[in-house]
Structures are given as C-alpha cells and as structure tokens.
A and B are shown apart, each in its own frame.
Chain A
Amino acid sequence: MATQVLQNPLELPISARLAKNLKRNFVERVIEFMLMLAALSAVATTLAIVFVLIYESFAFFEHVSIVAFLTDTQWTPLFEDAHYGIMPLVAGTLTTSIIALLVAVPIGTIGAIYLSEFASHKTREIVKPILELLVGVPTVVFGYFALLFVTPMLQKIFPGLPSFNMLGPGIVMGIMIIPYISSVAEDAMRAVPMSMREGSYAMGATRFQTAIRVVTPAATSGIVAAYILGISRAVGETMVVAIAAGQQPNLTFDPMESAATITAYIVQVAMGDLPHGSIGYQSIFAAGLVLMIMTLVFNILGHLTRKKFREAY
C-alpha cells in the first residue's frame, strides 16, 4: 500500500486555497444564521403570544365594550343573560394570591434568614437542593392537597366553610411558593458581602442583630424581588384554584366563599365544548390578556428590583 503523503496546504495553488476558504466561510455563515434563527424563536414566541391574545381579544371587544368589561360586576358569558365584567375574576385572582402571600412571605423570609445566617454550611448544602426539588412539584398535585386535605381540615375549624373556597387553595399556593421565595431571598442575602457581617459582629452584635439590622436591610431589594416574582407565580397559578376554589365567578374578597379566578375560568371554558369563534371562546383570550398584563407588570417590577440589587453589590 502506498503511503499517503499529506499535502501542505501552502503548496496548493492560490485559487484552490481561496475556494477552500470561501467554502469554509460559507458553511460558518450558514451555521451562524441557523443558530440565530433558533435564538429568535424566543422573540417569535413572545410576538405570537401577544398576537394571539390581542387578535382574539379584538374580536371579543367588538361585541363587548371595554367600559363594560372593566366596570360590570358580573361575569356570565355562558349564560343566556351574558355579562362580561372582568372584576369578579380579578377579585378571585387577587384574593387567592393575597392569601398565598400572607402565608409565603413571613414563612419564606424567616426560612431564608435562617438558612443564610443561622444554618450551618452542611444544613444549607442539604436544604437548598430540597428547596429546588420542591419548586418542581407539579401543581395539580397541590390541587389535590387543597381540595381533599387542607379544606377538610379547615372545615373542622370553620364549620360553615364550603368545600370550594378561596382560603384552602390560597394557603396551599402559599405553601407552594415558600420554597421559591426562600430560595431567591436566600440568594439575595448570601450576596451581601461578608465584610458587612464582619463589621456588625466586630461591634459585638449577635447573630440575630446582624441578620435583622444589617443583612436583611442590605438585601431588601433582592428580597422584595423574590416577593414580587412570588406574586406573579400566584397570580398565574391555575390548577390549585381550578380544582379547589370553585368555578363560579363571584365578586367578593371573602376567602370563605367560593370564587373563580381568571385562570380557573379559562380552564372551565377549555374543558367545555365551545365552538371556535364564539364569544365564549373569545372571552378566554380577553381574560388571558388581563392575566398576561398583570403578571407582566409584576415580572418587570421584580426584575427591575433584582437588577437594582445586583448593581448595588
């Protein structure tokens, strides 16, 4: 067998070398272009979401005036006497979200302070991954918990509580976002430079004093960002409320009553058999648009506060 002699590229004629470079550059360009298209899919998805929501809502608002949408106190699109006031759904969404926050903010913050300032390195190494695990538990399972575990328990305390109510799912959503708030707030507190803690301890401060008087104030914007992103999760949460809060739109802030949230309404309509193009079908997009705007506001606020915090350190 003849030994193959490797050809020194420099010995090739100049035209061949150019051709080779051209081909290589072309391939590189094509690859870069394709990768860019993939990256643009994120932009495309956002645009598609905005387009679909606005397009279908537009059709909806041809039948329903925006004033009625915002001021009517009833939401009964599927009834003979249809009303299209979004307020009852927003009220349900806010009530369940506020209950969730009342549960998650204190517990999540205390947990974060404990984890960041009190727990040993080893405890933190074990607890942090478990928190991350908890963030990944599917919400439909928490719905089961709200309907068949927490609500029956609450009914023993409040005998008049209906089996569909906002209190139970609110509490469960709160428990659900505790790991998230703890985890994000703990990250913020860990980011406070050690020199600040040393300054406090050197003044004779205890752990508790250092945590409350120095670390927490220094991490405020990071902790607040955790709350805001937590709210956004509660507002957008679907399954827990769809399962346990009831399906009746009800303009009330009383947690002991049953009421539908925006998300629960969308699920309810989607489960039914509404014809494409009907006003009922369009109404879920209008409701979705309101939901999207609410969460978008919270997300932007959350990211701005978090960015402010990152710039500070």
Chain B
Amino acid sequence: MTQASVLKNLDEVRAMIKRHKLNDYIFAIVGLIALMIGLLTLLTLFIDLVMDGFERFSLEFLTNYPSRRAVNAGLLSAWVGSLLVMVVTFLSAVPMGVAAGIYLEEYAPKNWFSDLIEINVTNLAGVPSIVYGLLALGLFVYILDLGQSILTAGLTLGLLILPVVIVATREAIRGIPVAIREAAYAVGATKWQVVSQHVIHYSFGGILTGVIIGMARALGETAPVITIGALTFIAFLPPSPVTTEPPFLNFEWLSSGFTVLPIQMFNWLSRPDHAFHVNAAATGALIIVVTLLMNGTAIWLRYRIRKNIKW
C-alpha cells in the first residue's frame, strides 16, 4: 500500500468508527434507562407506600386489633400471627432442608435415585405458590385434619421454602474443598463426624444465607395462606406459647386461627373505603422494610463469605 492510500484509508476508517461509536453511546444510555426502570420502580413504589400510609405510622398501629374503623385498626394479630407461623416454618423447613442438602451432597450415590430427587427439587422451586396452598388445603386441612391453623400455615410455607434451603445448603457444601474432608478422614473420623464437625460448620454461613432468604419469602407469601383459609378478621391473639405454670410451654397456639401481615394488607386493600387503603399502604411499607432487611442481610452475608473465605 502506498503512503497516500494508507492515509486516505485512515480518514475513512476514522469517520466510520465515529459513526459506529455513536451506537455505543446511544445503547449505553438506553441500557442505563432500562436498568433504572427496574430499580427506580421499587423506589417509587416504596415512596408511594410510605406517603400513602404515613398517617398510620404509630405505635398503636402495631398494638391495635383490626377494627371496623380504619383509624383504630391495627396490626397486632397480624404480626403476632406472622411471627408464630414463621416459627413453625423455620422448625419444619430448616432441619429438613439442611438434612436433604447434606444427603444429596455427601451421601447420595450419583445414579437415577439422586437424579430423581434433584429433578424434584428443581421442579418444586418453580411450582406456583398457590399450588402449595391447594396441596395444604387438600392434605393438611382436610385429610390430616389440622384445620385452618397456624400449624397448617407454617408447614405449608415450610414446604414452599424447602427447595430454597436445600439449594443453598448444597451450594454452601460444594464450596468446601475435598482436601478438608480428606484431612478429617485421614485422622480416622467417620462420615458423620466429618459431616457434623466439619462440613456443617464450614458451610454454616452459606446455609444461613439461604435460610434468611427463604424466611423472607415465607413472610411475604400471601396466596398459599389465603388458600388454606386464613381468617381475615382476627381480634384475638393465639394462646401464648409460654406459660407461667409448669411445664411452661403450651402448644394450643398451633391449632389456633390466625392472620398474617400480607393477608391483613390484602384484606384492607380489597375494601372499597379509601381509609382502609391507607392501612394497607402502611402495612405494605412495613412488609417491604422487613423483607428488604432480611434479604439485604443475606446478600451482604453472602458477599462477605465470598470475600473472606479463600480455600
């Protein structure tokens, strides 16, 4: 190529690059906007909820029972109900999910049997939550006759978050290098000793992350709890789990009727009277704050684990 032709060529190339780079800038802006739509909507939603519900933010809102008058209505029975349901969910899903995760990672032979379980876990994670409600209605409420109780709701949500806990446990365990296990086996540990003293110990952070995310999901779930027939107007508290007389524990609360935060919100939202919409907004703001705090903790925990542990 002659000097002149190279130089002429270069001018053309530079003009073309300029045109092409314009596309880069345009897309960078469009992409940023697209991303912001996702992010800013939540901010809008949250600000909207806080502004709409602002007038209900008070301690009475948390200590009052629901009422026919929106101004007096409160969340007491709902948040206590949520709390008790979460206790049952935690106690059912966590031991089961962690045990299943350990089995799949540490014990299960790699064959059709473990494939079957694995397919089931993946599939369950994609089942719509309302279907869990139908399962609970048919199985827990009627076949097992547990009624429309806290126990039923807690078990239902426990099943719902089971895949989350299993997947988190497996991922956490998978991060532990084989060398650690071999070191423990080399000093004569049995399999269960390796699992209970090392594997669970080292994967604790990862499992905790999954448990928190699962519990946050359970707290916000509405559809399955409605389906089993949670009551929407509850002006009493379940019997206290702790008593002053021996044996100090009381399990009557398990079979008690109840309501939970998202159902209370749904109920207020379904009423035509706008005053109740204010209550719904305040409840929504509370639910968002609590679930975001839980998920935020979990994500922060996960990033911290990833950062700190370098095997």
Contact = CB atoms under 8 A, between A and B. Distances in A.
B122 A114 contact: no
Interface in B213-252: 213, 216-217, 219-223, 226-229, 232
A114 B35 contact: yes
Contacts of A243: 266, 269-270
A217 interface: no
Contact of A42 (B23, B24, B117): B117
A39 B166 CA distance: 9
A130 B296 CA distance: 9
B42 interface: yes
Interface in B153-172: 159, 162-163, 166
A66 interface: no
Nearest to A211: B27
A86 interface: no
B220 A137 contact: yes
A155 B17 CA distance: 46
Given A28-B190, A140-B287, A295 B266 contact: no
B68 interface: no
Given A143-B266, A206-B21, A238 B222 contact: yes
Question: Chain A, interface size: which category?
Answer: 35 or more
A229 B122 CA distance: 12
Contacts of A292: 127-128, 131
Contact of B117 (A40, A143, A182, A303): A40
Nearest to B159: A45
B23 A208 contact: yes
B107 interface: yes
Contacts of B192: 27-28, 31-32
Interface stretch (A68-76, A192-200, A248-256, A264-272): A264-272
Contact of B220 (A140, A206, A303): A140
A270 B38 contact: no
Contacts, number: 260
Contacts of B116: 43
Given A206-B23, A236-B128, A137 B28 contact: no
Decide if the interface of chain A is mainly helix, strand, loop or mixed.
helix
Question: Chain B, interface size: which category?
Answer: 35 or more
B129 interface: yes
B177 interface: no
Contact of B35 (A28, A115, A142): A115
A141 B124 contact: no
A148 B277 contact: yes
B42 A137 contact: yes
Contacts of B10: none
Contacts of B291: 136-138
Nearest to A135: B295
Given A42-B121, A55-B138, A179-B38, A141 B100 contact: no
Most chain A CB within a 10 A radius of its CB, from B38, B96, B163, B295: B38
Given A132-B299, A140-B269, 19 more contacts: A27-B192, A31-B192, A41-B162, A42-B100, A55-B138, A108-B34, A111-B34, A115-B31, A136-B292, A149-B48, A238-B222, A242-B223, A263-B128, A266-B130, A266-B133, A267-B223, A288-B131, A295-B131, A299-B126
22 contacts: A28-B190, A35-B102, A38-B95, A38-B99, A42-B163, A43-B117, A55-B138, A56-B138, A111-B37, A114-B31, A119-B31, A127-B35, A134-B42, A136-B217, A140-B222, A143-B266, A149-B45, A182-B35, A207-B27, A236-B128, A284-B134, A292-B131
Interface of B: 17, 20-21, 23-24, 27-28, 30-32, 34-35, 37-39, 41-42, 44-45, 48-49, 52, 95-97, 99-100, 102-104, 107-108, 116-117, 120-124, 126-135, 137-139, 142, 159, 162-163, 166, 190-192, 213, 216-217, 219-223, 226-229, 232, 262, 265-266, 269-270, 277, 280-281, 284, 287-288, 291-292, 295-296, 299, 303
The 4 closest A-B pairs by CB, nearest first: A236-B128, A138-B220, A114-B31, A38-B99
Interface of A: 24, 27-28, 31-32, 34-36, 38-43, 45-46, 48-49, 52-53, 55-56, 106-108, 110-111, 113-115, 118-119, 127, 129-134, 136-145, 147-149, 175, 178-179, 182, 206-209, 211, 229, 232, 235-239, 242-243, 263, 266-267, 270-271, 276, 284-285, 288, 291-292, 295-296, 299, 302-303
